[in-house]
Amino acid sequence: MTSPGSAPGAPQPQGPCGFIILDKPAGLTSHDCVARIRRRYRLKRVGHGGTLDPAVTGVLPLALGSATRLLPYLNGAKAYRGVIQLGLRTDSDDLGGRVLERRSLPPLSLHALETALNAFRGPILQRPPQVSAVHVQGERAYARARRGELSDLKEREVTIERLELLSWDAGQGLLELEVRCGAGTYIRSLARDLGDALGCGGALAKLRRTEALGFDLSAAVSLEDLEAEPPPPPLAPLRALGQYPALMLEPADLVGWRCGRRLAGPPDLHEGQVVVVLKPDGNLAGMARAVAEGWLQPRLVLEATG
């Protein structure tokens, strides 16, 4: 249905569309943050890019309005700074869980630590924590864990692109790391497995996410910023799509694009390539995928008509 006074087939008015990058404080769930954004911007359609545990702080990208449809296209790599407590194991692989075992720390030189870390760089197999959102027989693993049930969680391949030792406190058994990793990587599992490799056990003590979905802390706002008047304007969707080639529509092509018609693409695209499609004014029109014979097939059309 068109809005009063609008022409039939005209693009409908859009609410806020873009990203708020929240510097999430400890104590809030990702769902809590989505609820706050919905209230603040008076929107129902809000999604987050990558769940953060309540104790974890840092970058939480929140998509507003039509930008929620862009989440599958964003870079899944994430970066963290974390502290691992060596010398114990817990049932959640962090210090929030029940302690299962304590062990004395062996003498650990920086060389020994670097040697152990090297085994976790690149593609590795990793088993998710018992307290995780992995589905097991139609149920989240964390729900089973809360009932005291152990889940048979299979190892899966993840990629740790960068793993750097920042500091080592031998007296306290605290190891600080910087990690850049692909989607699906659990830093709690890294803490557990590194502790096992060192023969003393390990659990995640503190974690801060510094990058997610192509956004870093330089783009983040605090809860205090969020409550200011006026609230922070959402970041333009194009901020998150720089990894894709772009095609700007000619004015004559805009109506056809909004109706979902395919269009001719640049000759150098390979089949399956994702392309950002821009309106003649340079703003985002949507996303397309290259198909056979040089055509671009619309996959996501903003301000669709018809």
Positions marked catalytic: 53
Q: Among 209, 208, 204, which residue's Cα sits nearest to residue 92?
A: 204
Please state, in angstroms and rounded to a whole number, the distance separating the CA atoms of residues 161 and 58: 20
Can you name the residues that pair with 99 across neighbouring β-strands?
90
Interior/surface letters 212-233, b for 16+ CB within 10 angstroms, e for the rest = bbbbeeebbeeeeebeeeeeee
Q: Using only the alpha carbons of the chain, give its radius of gyration.
A: 23
Neighbour tally for 131: CB within 10 Å: 23
Give 272's DSSP letter.
Answer: T
Can you name the residues that pair with 125 across neighbouring β-strands?
157
Q: What is the H or E stretch that residue 203 is in?
A: strand 202-212
Please state, in angstroms and rounded to a whole number, the distance separating the CA atoms of residues 255 and 200: 64
Q: Among 123, 271, 111, which residue's Cα sits nearest to residue 184?
A: 123
Please state, in angstroms and rounded to a whole number, the distance separating the CA atoms of residues 176 and 174: 7
CB-CB contact of 241 with 92 (8 Å): no
